[in-house]
Amino acid sequence: MSKEQQAVACARRAFETGRSKSLEHRIRQLKNLQRMFTERQKEIADAIKKDLNKSEVGTQLYETLGLEGEISLAIRKLKEWAAPRSVEKNLLTLSDTVYIKPEPLGVVLIIGAWNYPWAVTIQPLIGAIAAGNAAVIKPSEVCVHTAKAMEDLLPIYIDKELYPVVTGGVPETQELLRQRFDHIFYTGNSVVGKLIMEAAAKNLTPVTLELGGKSPCYIDKNCDISIACRRVAWGKYTNCGQTCIAPDYILCEPSIQDRVIEEIKKSIKEFYTDNPKTCTDYGRIINQRHFKRIMAMLEDSTIAVGGENDESDCYIAPTVLRDVKPEAKVMQEEIFGPLLPILSVSGLDEAIKFINKGEKPLALYVFTSDDKVIKRMVDETSSGGLLANDCLVHYSVSSLPFGGVGNSGMGCYHGKFSFDQLSHLRSCLIKQLKMEGVNSMRYPPHTPKKLGWARFFILKTVDLGWVGRMALLAVLAVVAAVVLQNYLL
Ligand code: NAD
């Protein structure tokens, strides 16, 4: 048995004991996870520093703070989320108990990416635990030190049989994908996303795919360009541009391009000093393979700001590219690095057309003081999320579903959405063996009169208080008696 098979078998056995289902167990595990982030902050930050040169404060701000918030929310709301959810009834089911019961799916495979390794791996785990599942956790091998930290720390804090960690690269992930799971939650690029779906299809395993793509950013000439550019610069250069929802490129009218460049340059200096290379808040490209990939995108574009780089240190300065053509290399794939191309459009109409020509993005940003511009973007485009006059922050709102659409992914999570995504929402209808008369309308011989009754009973939905329900029940009893007399006696 391979170590991957062993991990899956172990998680399956542990799930079958039934212990992951009890709410006390789920809450205990979530509290332990919370404790890990308090007690091991230093080890977590040290590992990320080695992987991506993130500062300790940056790690808390962009990774662990959000996780702590999600854990607290899940602990606070779990009883409510896991409770049976009553639903509206029609007249036929008025006297029945009709509800949705969220139940665990079983064993979930979580495959993480490297750019915010804790956030994208632990956030689905919070949902898996809250929903009562077992989970096999596969951190990205690309963030070497963090993967090791997860392998070492998680078993100390949470049930290591229910939530085993498997480390390794592509062969190990592929071996995991040959096993049978009840859900696969993948974060990463869309090429691998397709492989995940293919593997999942063999067992009809449902998938959540958290992918990326080119997230556009339209800056309207009618806005405070200085503030807009400050927010765009923050969204772009945080984590050295290696953020799935970073604004990938800017669309604006040629008349404001110079101003946009100047303002972004000012913000780069404000955030990262004159020399970002020595600034503790400026990250590094994850490895030399990605460094080369990003540098190759610069070939046919004009640098307006930045461009300095150092391969031995995986450093690329915050860079702005001007007058970029749609055919340029930098526009052919998600950049996932600190290059910010600016493309000219004649106005909102052309921006919308340009966005709609591409794949549906994970995020879409619009900066404007004109509500009509925002409304047109909302109405005339599609994306995983849309943000007006800011970048990234929608990720931090637990009441918003986070996820892509089309090429940027499927399924969503955060807050209650994580719980629902990793639960089966089971339909339950509990009837008594009484009032058989009402059923006569569905039994053969079928007649137009019975159909008439069926139309009345089925098409009426009921939204009444209990007094109304009691009155209706009484009416229903009379109707049942009449029907009984007409058809059965
Ligand atoms: P990655 O290289 O770490 O790959 C992700 C996972 O896929 C890893 O665990 C790896 O082992 C596995 N993997 C890689 N190749 C595989 C193969 N051939 N078969 C099976 N498994 C394989 O991460 P990445 O893909 O470079 O991550 C960057 C991408 O992820 C970007 O496109 C980014 O936009 C996206 N992303 C999306 C989100 C989101 O929440 N939507 C978050 C972070 C990153």
pLDDT of the residue at 460: 74
Same domain, 149 and 220: no
Residue 270 belongs to a domain: yes
Range of the domain at 467: 434-488
What is the whole-number distance in angstroms between the Cα of residue 112 and the centre of ligand 1?
A: 7
- The active-site residue, picked from 4, 63, 210, 263, is 210
pLDDT of the residue at 472: 64
Same domain, 197 and 232: no
Residue 9 belongs to a domain: yes
Contact by Cβ (8 Å): 403, 382 = no
Residue 410 belongs to a domain: no
Residue 406 belongs to a domain: no
Same domain, 292 and 438: no
Q: What is the CATH number of the domain that holds 195?
A: 3.40.605.10
Long-range contacts of 290-297 (CB under 8 A, 24+ apart): 290/242, 290/314, 290/336, 290/337, 291/316, 293/337, 294/335, 294/336, 294/337, 294/338, 294/339, 296/329, 297/329, 297/330, 297/335, 297/337, 297/339
Contact by Cβ (8 Å): 113, 187 = yes
Residue 405 belongs to a domain: no
- For ligand 1, pick from 211, 215, 410 the residue to mutate: most ligand atoms within 8 Å of CB: 211
Write the burial class of residue 181 (CB in 10 Å: 0-12 exposed, 13-18 middle, 19+ buried): buried
Atom of ligand 1 nearest to the CA of 113: 3
Contact by Cβ (8 Å): 232, 217 = yes
Same domain, 58 and 132: yes
Residue 408 belongs to a domain: no
What is the whole-number distance in angstroms between the Cα of residue 188 and the centre of ligand 1?
A: 3
Crossing angle of the two packed helices 371-380 and 348-357, in degrees rounded to 10? 20
State how far the Cα of 16 lies from the Cα of 5, in Å rounded to an integer.
16
Instruction: Specify whether 210 is catalytic.
Output: yes
Same domain, 82 and 167: yes
Same domain, 467 and 358: no
Atom of ligand 1 nearest to the CA of 188: 30
Same domain, 24 and 163: yes
Helix H or strand E segment including 367: strand 363-367
pLDDT of the residue at 488: 45
pLDDT of the residue at 174: 97
pLDDT of the residue at 119: 97
Residue 357 belongs to a domain: yes
- For ligand 1, pick from 67, 115, 293, 408 the residue to mutate: most ligand atoms within 8 Å of CB: 115
Contact by Cβ (8 Å): 88, 462 = yes
State how far the Cα of 166 lies from the Cα of 3, in Å rounded to an integer.
8
Same domain, 143 and 228: no
Residue 255 belongs to a domain: yes
Same domain, 248 and 142: no
Using CB distances shorter than 6 Å, the residues near ligand 1 are 111-115, 120, 138, 140-142, 169-170, 173-174, 187-189, 192, 195, 210-212, 244, 334, 336, 362, 404, 409
- For ligand 1, pick from 141, 177, 192 the residue to mutate: most ligand atoms within 8 Å of CB: 192
Atom of ligand 1 nearest to the CA of 195: 19
Same domain, 189 and 225: no
CA-closest residue to ligand 1 atom 22: 170
Per the listing, tokens 């995986």 go with: 314
CA-closest residue to ligand 1 atom 27: 188
Q: What is the CATH number of the domain that holds 286?
A: 3.40.309.10
Atom of ligand 1 nearest to the CA of 245: 34
Same domain, 31 and 103: yes
What is the whole-number distance in angstroms between the Cα of residue 189 and the centre of ligand 1?
A: 5
Instruction: Specify whether 10 is catalytic.
Output: no
Q: Which two tokens stand for residue 117?
A: 């390794």
CA-closest residue to ligand 1 atom 7: 188
Atom of ligand 1 nearest to the CA of 384: 41
Domain count, the chain: 3
CA-closest residue to ligand 1 atom 16: 170
User: What is the residue-level pLDDT of the chain in tens, covering all 489 positions?
Assistant: 999 999 999 999 999 999 999 999 999 999 999 999 999 999 999 999 999 999 999 999 999 999 999 999 999 999 999 999 999 998 889 899 999 999 999 999 999 999 999 999 999 999 999 999 999 999 999 999 999 999 999 999 999 999 999 999 999 999 999 999 999 999 999 999 999 999 999 999 999 999 999 999 999 999 999 999 999 999 999 999 999 999 999 999 999 999 999 999 999 999 999 999 999 999 999 999 999 999 999 999 999 999 999 999 999 999 999 999 999 999 999 999 999 999 999 999 999 999 999 999 999 999 999 999 999 999 999 999 999 999 999 999 999 999 999 999 999 999 999 999 999 999 999 999 998 988 999 999 999 999 999 898 888 766 656 666 666 666 666 666 665 555 544
What DSSP string describes 266-321? HHHHHHH-S-GGG-TT----S-HHHHHHHHHTTTTSEEEE---EEGGGTEE--EEE
CA-closest residue to ligand 1 atom 40: 210
What is the whole-number distance in angstroms between the Cα of residue 192 and the centre of ligand 1?
A: 7
